[in-house]
Chain A
Amino acid sequence: MGVYSLKNIQINMTKEDIISKLTTIVKPYVQNEEGFKNLNENTDFINDLEINSANLVDIILDVEDEFNIEIDNDSMEKMLSVKATVEVIQTKMNA
C-alpha cells in the first residue's frame, strides 16, 4: 500500500540523531553557554546547562511534540540529563 509510517522512521533514528534534536530543544533554556558547547551524553540539564527547573516541563513537552511520544510521570522523573532523556525517548519510540 505504500503507507507512510512515521513510526518506522523513528525506530531508525540513531542516538546521535536524537541527541541532535534534543540539543535544538534545550537551546532556548540554556543559561550556561560553555556547558552547551560541550553538550554530550553525560550533560546534566541543571548542573551543566543551568537550565531553570521551571523550564524542565517545557523540555518534556517539546520532546513529546518533536518525537511524537507520550512521557508518563515515572519516565519524566529521570529526565535530568541528556543520557536519561535519550533512554526515555528510545524506549517510548520503540514501544
Chain B
Amino acid sequence: MHNIGNDIVDLKFAEAQSNWQRKGFLEKQFTQKERRKILSAENPFLTVWLFWSMKEAAYKCYTQKSKERFYAPQKFECILISETKGIVVFEGSTFYTTSFSSTSYVYTTSREEEREILMFSAVVRPSSLEFYLKNKLAQETGFSIEDIQKVKTTNGAPGFYHQEELLTASCSISHHGNYGAYAFNLSHKF
C-alpha cells in the first residue's frame, strides 16, 4: 500500500489569519534548521508556508497508516532538494514531496516512496472539491459519478467506494481559505 498526502495553503488567507512573526510561532512549529532557512530566505513568508504545507502533506500521508492523530509539526523536518522537490523526515520515515507555489497558494503532495507514482491531484474550489474528485474517479474507473460514495474515516482521510469496492488506494483532501485540493491514487484493480 502506497500512501499519499496533500496540503493546500491559501496565501492571502494565511496572511490574514496567521502572523508568522508572532512570538513563538516559528519556535513551536519549525526546527532550528528550518528557522534558519526561513529567516535567511528571500521570501520568509512564502518559505514558512511552503514548509508548513510539506509538513502537513507528510503528516497526512503518515496518519493514513498510523491512524493516530497528533500535533507535532516540529517532528516533521523539511529539507528542500530543489525549488519544487523536498523530503520530510519524521521519526525515521521519509516522505517525498512535490510543491507548487503561485502568488495565490502553495500546494504540496507527498508520497512514501521516492519513485514517482500515478497520482491524481488538483486544486479546485473548496465547495466543489468532492464533485471534482468523484468526477475524476468516474472518468478513471468508468463508474457513474452518482454511484461513487465517500466514506469518512476517523483520521480524516476519506475513502471513495463503488458499492462495496474501495476505488482509492489512498486519498487526501485539503481546504484552506478559497482553495481546496485533492490527491488520490487508485486501487490496484483499476
Contact = CB atoms under 8 A, between A and B. Distances in A.
Given A54-B17, A54-B52, A57-B28, A73 B74 contact: yes
Interface string B10-41: 00001001100011110011000000000000
Query: Which of A53, A54, A73, A76 has the most chain B CB atoms closer than 10 A to its own CB?
Result: A54
A2 B22 CA distance: 36
Interface in B64-120: 69-75
Contacts, number: 49
A77 B72 contact: yes
A58 B70 contact: no
B162 interface: no
Interface of B: 9, 14, 17-18, 22-25, 28-29, 52, 56, 69-75, 156, 176
A50 B176 CA distance: 11
Contacts of A38: none
A86 interface: no
A93 interface: no
Nearest to A59: B71
Nearest to B174: A53
A28 B18 CA distance: 11
Given A57-B28, A61-B28, A80-B70, 14 more contacts: A53-B56, A54-B14, A54-B52, A54-B176, A57-B18, A58-B25, A61-B24, A73-B75, A76-B71, A76-B72, A77-B70, A77-B71, A77-B72, A80-B71
Given A52-B176, A53-B56, A77-B71, A61 B25 contact: yes
A25 interface: no
Contacts of A80: 69-71
A68 B140 CA distance: 54
Interface of A: 29, 46-47, 52-58, 60-61, 64, 73, 76-80
B71 A56 contact: yes
A47 B69 CA distance: 11
Majority secondary structure of chain A interface residues (helix, strand, loop or mixed)? helix
A77 B74 CA distance: 10
Contacts of A60: 28
Given A46-B156, A64-B24, A76-B28, A58 B71 contact: no
Nearest to B56: A53
Shortest beta-carbon contacts, A-B, top 9: A77-B72, A77-B70, A61-B24, A57-B28, A56-B71, A57-B29, A77-B71, A54-B18, A80-B71
A60 B29 CA distance: 11
Contacts of A46: 69, 156
